[in-house]
Amino acid sequence: DGNDNRPSPMEQPPKPVRIPIAELRAIAHGAGFDTRGMERQDLERIAASVRASSPPASAPQPANQEPMTQKQDVSMRAAAERTAHEKLEKEQAMAKEEEEARRRKLNEDRIAAENMKRQMEEEEKRMAEELAADLRRRHEEEQRQRMAEQHAAEMKRKQEEELSRRLAEQQAAEMKRKQEEDH
């Protein structure tokens, strides 16, 4: 069908050739740019601008070409400065984020250390309280045992006194009975 609006394979525009990064840097450097830290897209913009500003060898140069080139040069330099400034801002933002992450980590470490210290202190306090309670129990048990021993000794003494008294009464009664028998 002749009404097909698609271009034939022969009419399709050729794919743009990708210029090596080294060549892009050389073009930008030749135009007076410091290419350190520039991305490929920045270098491609500068190369395109340089190609657009340089007239073909056969074309005559108009009288007003020079001011246009200077404008483009200023524009390209401004774009490069913006790119460098944006990169610097990104680096500063990343550095700030890293510093924040470092601060958060330090704070988390400090809190963890404080928690560990508090837990250790609580454990030491608990152990000291358990030891004190154990010592109190032992002391009370020793006191009860001493009291029981004293009570037992007192009971034994009273029993011995009672036994001695009974024995003395028995002996006295026996002597009295013997005396009454002897008379």
Nearest to 48 by CA among 19, 86, 71, 15: 19
DSSP state of 59: S
Amino acid at 75: S
pLDDT at residue 103, rounded to an integer: 96
Longest dimension (CA), the chain: 181
Amino acid at 87: K
Token pair, residue 41, equals 């897209």
Token pair, residue 58, equals 């056969």
pLDDT at residue 65, rounded to an integer: 45
Residue 77, burial from CB neighbour count under 10 angstroms (0-12, 13-18, 19+): middle
Do residues 19 and 50 touch, judged by C-beta distance below 8 A?
A: no
pLDDT at residue 181, rounded to an integer: 84
CA-to-CA distance for 55 and 65, rounded, in angstroms? 9
Q: What is the pLDDT along the chain (183 residues), one digit of tens a residue?
A: 555 555 555 555 556 678 888 888 888 888 888 888 888 888 888 888 888 776 555 445 454 444 446 677 777 778 888 888 888 899 999 999 999 999 999 999 999 999 999 999 999 999 999 999 999 999 999 999 999 999 999 999 999 999 999 999 999 999 988 888 887
